[in-house]
Amino acid sequence: MTRTTVALRAGFALFLVFLLAGLRGPSVQAQVSIRQQWQASPHARSMDTPEERERMNTAGCARCHTAQGYQHEILAGLESAAPYPEATGLTCMACHAEGEGRRRVGPIRAGAARDACRGCHDELVTNRPNSLSWCSQWGIFEGTGGRAQTTSASAHSQMENGCITCHMAPAGDGTDPSLVGGHTFRVKTKGDLPRAFNAGSCLSCHKIMTGEILADSQAQLQELLDELGAMLPQRPDPEDPSRTVPRFPADPSLSALQARASHNYWLVEKDGSLGVHNPGYTRNLLLETIGELKTGEPDLAEKIAAESSGR
């Protein structure tokens, strides 16, 4: 075999190495674009169907389901002008200003990153006997949303960028970035989605955090929430009439104590984090509320919560 042949074969082998590397491409993280992440997020479904597009472009809904309403009502603080002409859902331009030069997307319209989320995620839109629309995350986050003696801001609330510190953290190694992290705005998947947990959003502060640890913590909160729910008068679930849920806070059949308890139940239920946004506050709020219903005396709730703290 001549030197020329050896060199050609070696060169061809090297070419195959680079070719295969190119076919494999960059990491999964790099392959998933911001647009793909956004398309997998709840924000991309803020106006899903023609029917939803019409309903979500009405006063009360448009402020958080349309880009025009968010900018006009939440950011500018103006009265609703819904329905907005040619309304769009929560696209890039809802939260971001126009870019300059070659940049298509500019800075966040809200100014500070931590202010971009609060306007919609601290929103009690509808509170009627037969209807409740509530994004209650900020009330849990700050520890001020409950109707009880318990108040306690989460350590999470001290993070400079607020919600996005965790909800937009890049997906960690081995985690599918089309499911969690970045512009999916998810830390953990729910429902029918494949199971994924972006532990990287926690490990910058916590020494250890796994999906199992998180699930166990949330299961404990779910038990307390279920206990409180079972103590309240029930009504058919508007989304699934085959099951029942606690009556909504505005239901006139509730006593003042039950209405307070219903408010606290739905505050935690609609938050959706099962304590993650503010573990201590959520737990104490549920214990205090359960105590009030058991005794009928709000001033004894603190004692009952202390007695139950060991469970």
User: Residues 61-86: what's their mean pLDDT?
Assistant: 96
Residue with more model confidence, 141 or 9: 141
Q: What is the DSSP letter of 75?
A: I
At which residue do the structure tokens 């309304």 appear?
87
Band of residue 205 on the pLDDT scale cut at 50, 70, 90: confident
Residue 39 has what pLDDT?
A: 94
218-230 average pLDDT score: 98
pLDDT, greater one: 52 or 310 = 52
Residue 11: pLDDT band (50, 70, 90) is very low
> In this structure, what DSSP letter does residue 246 have?
E
Q: At residue 308, does pLDDT exceed 80?
A: no
More confident: 8 or 173: 173
- Mean pLDDT over residues 69-77, rounded? 96
Q: What percent of the chain has pLDDT over 90?
A: 65
At residue 306, the pLDDT reads: 53
Residue 254 φ/ψ region, left for φ over 0, alpha for ψ in the -120 to 50 degree band, beta for the rest: beta
Summarize the confidence of residues 27-48 as an average pLDDT.
Answer: 82
The structure tokens 């953990």 sit at: 188
Q: Is the pLDDT of residue 12 over 60?
A: no
Euclidean distance between CA atoms 175 and 98, whole angstroms: 31
Q: How confident is the model at residue 298 (pLDDT cuts 50, 70, 90)?
A: low
Average of per-residue pLDDT across 63-85: 96
Integer Cα distance of 258 and 104 in angstroms: 51
pLDDT beyond 50 at 30: no
Mean pLDDT of the chain: 86
Q: What CA–CA distances, in Å, run from 68 to 19, 37, 90, 172?
A: 47, 22, 9, 34
* Per-residue model confidence (pLDDT) at position 114: 84
Contacts of 286 (CB under 8 A, 6+ apart): 221, 224, 225, 227, 228, 264, 268
pLDDT digits (tens, 9 = 90+) for 118-172: 999 997 888 899 999 999 999 999 999 999 888 888 889 888 889 999 999 998 8
Rounded Cα distance, 102 and 191, in Å? 39
- DSSP assignments along 106-122, one per residue: EEETTSSTTHHHHTTTT
Q: How far is 187 from 202, CA to CA, in rounded Å? A: 9
In the predicted structure, residue 49 carries a pLDDT above the cut 90:
no
